[in-house]
Amino acid sequence: MNVIITGASRGIGYAIASHFAAEGCRLLLCATQAGSLEKAADAIRKAFPQTEVHFFVANLAEASEAKAFGAWCLQYGTPDVLVNNAGKFEPGNCMDEAEGQMDFMMRVNFFSAYHVTRTVLPAMIQAGRGHIFNMCSIASLNAYPGGGSYSVSKHALHGFSMNLRHELKTLGIKVTAVYPGAVYTDSWTGFDNSTGRIMEAEDIASLVVATSKLSPQATVEQLVVRPQLGDL
């Protein structure tokens, strides 16, 4: 099974890659930083020697690079799973955030998924199978203080997911939007999670893999996952 994962060098993306590696899937990974991506790929190969791991370094905020990554993936055959996980958080308010921040957030958090998906989708449609996971956020569902352009970009990814689900449901392709609350990743560097206040990346990864295993007639359209004690 061919599994494409963007933003795969750390955090949720790396956890998802590791869980699919445990299933013996072929991994096609992407991230921006060559060093961290190569290190992640090597760690997965070492932990799961039976797994075939390939990686492609690209800045998916650039449409040309997102399309190039998608085209590179297709050389390995039809994608079975696409996880659009690449993204970045920058706090701010729409009314006074830095000039260009909205454009950047949209390119990183929305258009990266848009261009990669549109590049690989024709092969999935032709095969009549596949599962697309878009890593949205609870910020996709509600406004909150300091959300700004990040929240707007995640709302866009939510809308993209809902439209894809509608468009592809008769073509054998599943679409699942994932909406995590606070997860202990680099975005929470310095946060003391010794009490388990926020979720682990493994929580999201296990749900994604489990969702990918459902029968062809079953689709989880939305996965909303929050810390047990609620949002921070």
Q: Do 63 and 114 meet the contact criterion of CB atoms below 8 Å apart?
A: no
R_g of the chain computed on alpha carbons: 17
Strand, helix or coil for residue 98:
coil
- Amino acid of residue 79: P
φ/ψ (deg, to 5) at 30: -145, 145
Residues with Cβ within 8 Å of 97's Cβ and at least 6 positions away in sequence, in order, are: 90, 148, 149
Is 14 a residue of the active site? no
Q: Do 37 and 9 meet the contact criterion of CB atoms below 8 Å apart?
A: yes
- Amino acid of residue 186: D
First and final CA of the chain: distance in angstroms?
37
Task: Choose the catalytic residue: 114, 150, 179, 184.
Answer: 150
Cα gap 218→232, rounded to integer Å: 32
Cα gap 176→179, rounded to integer Å: 10
Nearest-CA neighbor of 123 among 54, 73, 164? Answer: 73
Active site residues: 150
